[in-house]
Amino acid sequence: MLVTGASRGIGRAVATAFAAEGDRVAIHHRGSADIAERLRAELPGDGHTVVQADIADPDAVRRMVDEAADALGGIDVLVNNAGVFFEHPITEVSYEDWQAAWRQTLDLNLVGAANVTWCAVRHMSHGGRIVNVSSRGAFRGEPDGPAYGASKAGLNALGQSLAIALAPHGIAVGTVAPGFVETDMTSDHLKPPRGDAIRAQSPFDRVARPEEIATAVLYLASPAAEWSSGTIIDLNGASYLRS
């Protein structure tokens, strides 16, 4: 199985969870080779590999996915986890910065994930599972990072479209949509006093742990989850309830 953005945060927890189940994992990173190699050495089991690519670069994506498939003898599970978030409030940034934020966010979070998926499907001749890591922001909006919310809403739509397109090929597609999770990407947001307000959004008065997201990803990738293809699982501790 291949996990993008696997060297830290949610991706690291996902890689660890799958390895604990006996899977061989391709750990993707963009520029964290040392961290990715340390994770590979720490994972239970053998046969894990590290692959590198800028997900926003289509040629690098194709090379990376092929390299992962060669090392693992194919790909049966893909987890599209890599993503970025840039703050760019519409009333506070320049036109140039606004365009750059949209371009960089969509190129990685949406188009990059779509490209990784296209490449991985070519290695799923016997069926497989694709799990996309979306966000609560796809539903409630991201006023300080609208490109992020839009990219994740697009990822949701991509997953549901492919759930229909790939079912005849034995490939199920699911999505998880976390709220705030304790990761490097959210560490600044979770510092007091802002972090206290974020934790209070949930009646549990906390944010998610990466391992909780990994548990849901593990389920969606399991044989038992085929009939849930096309679903989006909210993982936000009841901080945002949608109808």
Active site residues: 148
Tokens describing residue 37: 């190699």
Contact between 1 and 43 under an 8 Å Cβ cutoff? The reply is no
Residues 6+ apart with CB under 8 A from 60: 53, 54
CA dihedral 200, 240, 114, 7 (to 10 degrees): 20
Query: Dihedrals φ, ψ of 208, to 5°?
Result: -75, 155
CA dist 61 and 183 (Å) reads 24
Helix (H, G, I), strand (E, B) or coil at 102: helix
Tokens describing residue 83: 């993503």
Report the chain's terminal Cα–Cα distance, integer Å: 33
